[in-house]
């Protein structure tokens, strides 16, 4: 198997006045959909923030595309950022711009495309995520929650990333929208050859899309398995997590 896209070794985090992570090891292979789950406050999002270089870990090594992100120069880190897309929990669309401008924004800032090509490419992404064309001129506040999530997904794939991070993509969506969003994730992986990391609580959604699920608890990854196998795991924290659902 080829080199993993994400490789986390011995990640430790000390936040506030407690150890959030004592020993996190995780690797994600190209083309995989890996989900990170765990109880509230177990540090799922913290792992994600460490990978995204939004938070400097207390100790440990994170390799992305084979490069140690702790040892990167500023401009190397910027280049790395162009290879991933992030969908934030609350969409984080720029509220002063229309949906189309939101999608075009990273293209405008990072790539050198003609305006008409940029516009067409942004529209393509909009159609790929299943939004109607006329929503392009709307402001994010004029869209429903599910549509905002889709628009944010379109912005996340604007630069054709190799790696996509989704932070609770289906939380707050109704079951139908959640299922449609899952289909979208699977479709995008197939169409754009993406590797996807999801932080989620939604077991139904994980059953549909995740290849492997990493369970975070006690400051480490307790198990990383396909969801069916994970649900049979006898660790008390994992059993407790699934028994409530």
Partner 1 sequence: MSDNTAALTSSDESQVSYAEFNFNEQEHAYVCVGNWSILSIGPLTESITETFQPPKNQQIRVLGHKLEAFDSAGALLLLQFIDALKTNRNQVVLEQFSDAQTELFELVQSKESGLKKLPESPELTRQKEDFLEFLGRETIEKTHQFDGLILLVGDLTDKIFRAFTQWKRFQIPSIISNINNTGLKALPIIALLSFLIGVVLAYQMGLQLETYGANQFIAYLCGMAIFREFGPLITAIIVAGRTSSSFTAQIGSMKLNEEIDALTTMGLSPTELLVLPKVIGLTLVLPLVVFWADIFGLMGSMIMSNFMLDIGYQEFLLRLQTDVGRDQFMLGLYKAPAFSILIALVGCFQGFQVKAHADSIGSQTTKSVVQALFLIIVADATYSIIYSWMDL
Q: Using the minimum distance from each CB to partner 1, give the nearer residue, 188 or 199.
A: 188
Q: How far is the CB of 91 from partner 1 (least distance, A)?
A: 13
Closest separation in Å from C-beta 168 to partner 1: 19
Closest alpha carbon to 20 in 199, 201, 166, 216: 216
Q: What is the DSSP string of 171-190?
A: TT--HHHHHHHHHHHHHHHH
Q: Which is nearer to partner 1, 123 or 237 (CB)?
A: 123
Q: Which is nearer to partner 1, 18 or 141 (CB)?
A: 141
- Shortest distance, CB of residue 7 to partner 1, whole angstroms? 23
For residue 158 the two structure tokens come to 């604007």
Whole-number minimum distance, CB 120 to partner 1, in Å?
Answer: 5
Nearer to partner 1, 136 or 222 (CB): 136
Nearer to partner 1, 14 or 187 (CB): 187
Extended strands (E) in the chain: 6-15, 18-28, 33-38, 59-64, 67-68, 84-87, 163-167, 195-199, 212-217, 220-225
To partner 1, the closest distance from the beta carbon of 111 in angstroms equals: 5
Site of interaction with partner 1 (CB under 8 A): 82, 94-96, 100, 107, 110-114, 116-117, 120-121, 123-125, 127-128, 133-134, 136-137, 139-141, 157, 159-160, 191-193
- Rounded Cα–Cα distance for residues 173 and 122 (Å): 24
């Amino acid at each position: 198997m080829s080199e993993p896209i994400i490789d986390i070794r011995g990640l430790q985090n000390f936040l506030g006045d407690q150890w959030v992570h004592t020993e996190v090891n995780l690797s994600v292979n190209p083309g995989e959909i890996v989900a990170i789950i765990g109880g509230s406050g177990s540090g799922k999002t913290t792992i994600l923030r460490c990978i995204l270089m939004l938070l400097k870990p207390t100790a440990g090594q994170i390799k992305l595309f084979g490069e140690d992100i702790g040892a990167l120069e500023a401009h190397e880190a910027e280049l790395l950022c162009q290879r991933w897309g992030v969908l934030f929990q609350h969409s984080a669309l720029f509220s002063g711009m229309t949906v189309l401008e939101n999608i075009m924004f990273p293209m405008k800032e990072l790539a050198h495309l003609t305006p008409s090509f940029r516009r067409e490419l942004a529209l393509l992404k909009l159609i790929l995520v299943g939004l109607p064309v006329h929503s392009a001129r709307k402001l994010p506040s004029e869209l429903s929650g599910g549509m905002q999530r889709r628009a944010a997904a379109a912005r996340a794939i604007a630069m054709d990333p190799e790696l996509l991070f989704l932070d609770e993509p289906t939380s707050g969506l109704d079951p139908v929208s959640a299922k449609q969003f899952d289909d979208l994730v699977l479709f995008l992986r197939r169409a754009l050859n993406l590797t996807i990391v999801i932080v989620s609580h939604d077991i139904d959604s994980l059953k549909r899309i995740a290849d492997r699920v990493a369970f975070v608890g006690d400051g480490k990854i307790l198990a990383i398995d396909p969801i069916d196998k994970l649900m049979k795991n006898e660790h008390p924290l994992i059993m407790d997590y699934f028994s409530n659902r």
